[in-house]
Chain A
Amino acid sequence: MFKKTLLTALLVSAPLLMVGCVSTGDKGAADSVGSNADAYGSGVDNVKSEFGEATLDERTFYFDFDRSEIKPEYMGAIEANGKNLANHPQKRVRVEGHTDERGSREYNIALGERRAHAVARVLMLEGAKHDQISIVSYGAERPAVQGHNEAAWADNRRAIIEYEAGGQ
C-alpha cells in the first residue's frame, strides 16, 4: 500500500517527467526524458501489481473530467503491460490519449497528451524503454462512441495502449 502511494506521489509530483514520441527519432526531447524516467524507475522496481497477470488484456483506462491522474484500479493492468514490454524489448506500443468533447479542441489535445504520458510513465516505471513507446493525443477528435451526454463522455475520456504489429 505504501509503495502504491509512493508511486502515485511520483507520478503526480513529476509533471515534467514525460516520454518522447520516438517514431520519427527526434533527438533531444526523447533522450533527456528517458534518463529522467530511468532515475525514477530504479526506485520503484519492486512495485507489485495487485491485479495479477490476467490484466494484460485490459488496455483502455478511463479518466475523470479534466484530469490526467491514473485511477488506482487501472494501475495493475498498466503495470502488467509495462512488465510485458520490459520482458519483450522487441515489442512496441503506441499510447493514445483521448478526452471528452467539452471545452476547446486544442486544449483537449494537450489534456489527452497528459493522459497518454501518465500511462507511459507507469509503463517505463515497470521497465519499458522509451523507444518502445510512442505517444499520440487525439483530444476529443476520435471519440470511442458518438454522443453528447454523460455516458458518452465517460466512455471517451480514456487512454489506450495499442501494441504495434506483432501483438502483445
Chain B
Amino acid sequence: MMKYLKYVGLIFTLCFSVLTHAEGILNIEITQAKDAALPVAIVPFKLDGGAPPAQDIAAVVSADLSRSGEFRVMPTHMMRQLPSTPAQMEIPYWRVLGMQAVLVGSVKAQGNGSYQVQVALVDTTQGQGQRAIPGANTDTAAIAPGPNVLLSKEFLVNNRNMRALAHHISDLVYEALTGYRGAFSTQLAYVTVQFANPKKPPSRYVLEIADSDGYNPRPLLTSKEPIMSPSWSPNGKQLAYVSFERNRAGIYVSDIETGNRRLLTSYPGINGAPAWSPDGRKLAVVLSYGKVPKVYLLDIASGKLQQVTFGSSIDTEPSWMPDGKSLIFTSNRGGQPQVYQVDLAGNSVKRLTFQGNYNARASVTPDGTKMVMIHRGQGDFNIATLDLSTNQVSVLTGTSLDESPSLAPNGRMVIYATVDGGRRVLAGVSIDGRVGLLLPAASGEVQEPAWSPFLS
C-alpha cells in the first residue's frame, strides 16, 4: 500500500506524442515523475537556411531527457524567447522560470542532404558570469565569455542520421548535467507476440531491435515458434537468443548487421538463458540434457562446455558479475526461486536473496553495487533492487506481473515487461524507483526487453 501512496504524489500528467512518426511502434507515457527532476528548457533549433531536416532535434532531445526521469522539460509553447545561441540568451528570463539549464541550437542546410548543426548548453544558475565551469566544453572560442556555457558543439551530419545525432546530443546533455554517461544512443531488443485467435496459441513471434526510444524497429527473426531470452554481446554486434523453430529449444547467435545466424546448442531438453561474458568469449547457458537444468559455460570459439552448478535443483538465468569472476543465477535449491552467486574459480555457491518468496532473473549494475530482479513479496511480481552491501530490498515498480528486467548500460534505468490494459507492454523505471514510464506498442504483446550495451 505504501508503495502506491508513494506514487500518487509523483504522478505527472506528462504524455508525449513525440512518437507519432510512422516508424515508431512505441508510444511513451510517463506514469511517475521525479519530484526533484531538474527543470531544463530545450529551445527549438533555429533553421538558418534551406529545407528543414528530417527530424526536429529539439523534440527528440526533449523526449529523451523527459524519459530519463532526471529532468522536467519546459513545454515549448510556454517559451516567450527562442534564442539559438548563448549570446542571444537573456539569462534572467530563464532563471525566473526556474530553469537550471537551457539547450539552444541551430541547423543549416549544406546541400547534398547534409546539415551543419550547432548546439550549446547554458547553465542558467550561474548568472551572466565570465567564469568557465571546470571541465566545461567550450571548444567554440567565440562564445566562451558571457553566459556560463557547459557545452558547445558543432556537427556536420547527413539528414538520414539526424535522429542519431539528436540522441548523441541527449547523451552529451545528460552527462553534462548528471555526471553519468547518457544511454540514449543505445538499442533495445525485445520479442513481439501476435495472436491470430486469442483462444489459440500465438501465431507469430518476432525478435525485434529498435532504438532506445522505440523508434526504427526492425525484425531480426520472425517465427511461428517461440523466441525468447535475447542477450547482447558486449560489443553490441551480436544477439544470442533461444528459438523453438525446430520444435525444440536451441540457442542461436545472430549478427545484427548482416542477420547471419548460427545454432550454438541444441541438446536434448532445455537450451536456455544465454548470457554473454564481459570479455565476449563465453556464453553462460542453461542445459538440462533431459534431466535438471544446470548452468554451463560455453566457450564460443571451441564449443567446449564446462558445468558450473550441480545438484538436483533447477538452476537457471545466469548473469555475469561485472568482473567476470562469478555468476549470479536463479535456483530453487532452497524450495523457492532465489538468487545465488557461484564463484567460477571454485564453484562455491552462496545465497544472495532472503527477503520475499520469489526472486529471479537478476542482473547487477555496472558498478556492482545493486542487483535488479523479479521480486514477489506479498503477491505481485514486481521489479526490485537488492543493495549488495546493505542487503536492502527496494521494490521499484507499482505495476504487476512484471518480468524480464534489463539494465541500461549506465545503470540508471531498468526496462522490463509488464501488463497494462490487458496487454503485455514494455515499461521503464529509474534505478531509484522514482520515475516510471510505459511504452505500449501499437498491437500485439511485447515482452523480454534487453537493453544493448553502449554502442560507440
- Write out the residue numbers on chain B whose beta carbons fall within 8 Å of the beta carbon of A105: 228-229, 361, 403-404, 447-448
Total chain B interface residues with beta-carbon distance under 8 A = 51
Main secondary structure of the interface of B (DSSP, over half): loop
Question: Which residue of chain B is the closest to A15 with respect to CB atoms?
Answer: B312
Verify if A43 is at the interface (C-beta below 8 Å from B): no
Most buried by B among A16, A141, A145: A141
Verify if A20 is at the interface (C-beta below 8 Å from B): yes
User: Do residues A20 and B290 form an inter-chain contact, with CB atoms below 8 A?
Assistant: yes
Verify if B409 is at the interface (C-beta below 8 Å from A): no
Q: A102-B401, A135-B290 are in contact. Are A145 and B268 (CB under 8 A)?
A: no
Q: A106-B273, A110-B314 are in contact. Are A21 and B268 (CB under 8 A)?
A: yes
Contact with A along B306-327 (1 / 0, CB 8 A): 0000001010110000000000
Verify if A23 is at the interface (C-beta below 8 Å from B): yes
User: Do residues B272 and A109 form an inter-chain contact, with CB atoms below 8 A?
Assistant: yes
- Write out the residue numbers on chain A whose beta carbons fall within 8 Å of the beta carbon of B360: 103-104, 107
Contact with B along A140-162 (1 / 0, CB 8 A): 01111111100000000000000
Contact with A along B274-313 (1 / 0, CB 8 A): 0000000000001011111100000000000000000010
- Write out the residue numbers on chain A whose beta carbons fall within 8 Å of the beta carbon of B403: 101, 103-105
CB distance from B295 to the nearest CB of A (A): 11
Q: A138-B226, A138-B244 are in contact. Are A148 and B401 (CB under 8 A)?
A: yes
User: Do residues B195 and A109 form an inter-chain contact, with CB atoms below 8 A?
Assistant: no
Question: Which residue of chain A is the closest to B315 with respect to CB atoms?
Answer: A110
Extra contacts besides A15-B312, A104-B317 (9): CB < 8 Å = A20-B290, A26-B267, A29-B268, A101-B424, A105-B229, A106-B272, A137-B249, A142-B225, A143-B201
Could you pull out 15 A-B pairs where Cβ atoms are within 8 angstroms? Answer: A16-B292, A18-B290, A22-B268, A28-B289, A103-B376, A104-B337, A104-B404, A105-B361, A106-B228, A109-B249, A109-B270, A109-B272, A113-B293, A142-B202, A144-B201
**A interface, CB within 8 angstroms of B:** 15-16, 18-24, 26, 28-30, 33, 94, 101-107, 109-111, 113-114, 134-139, 141-148
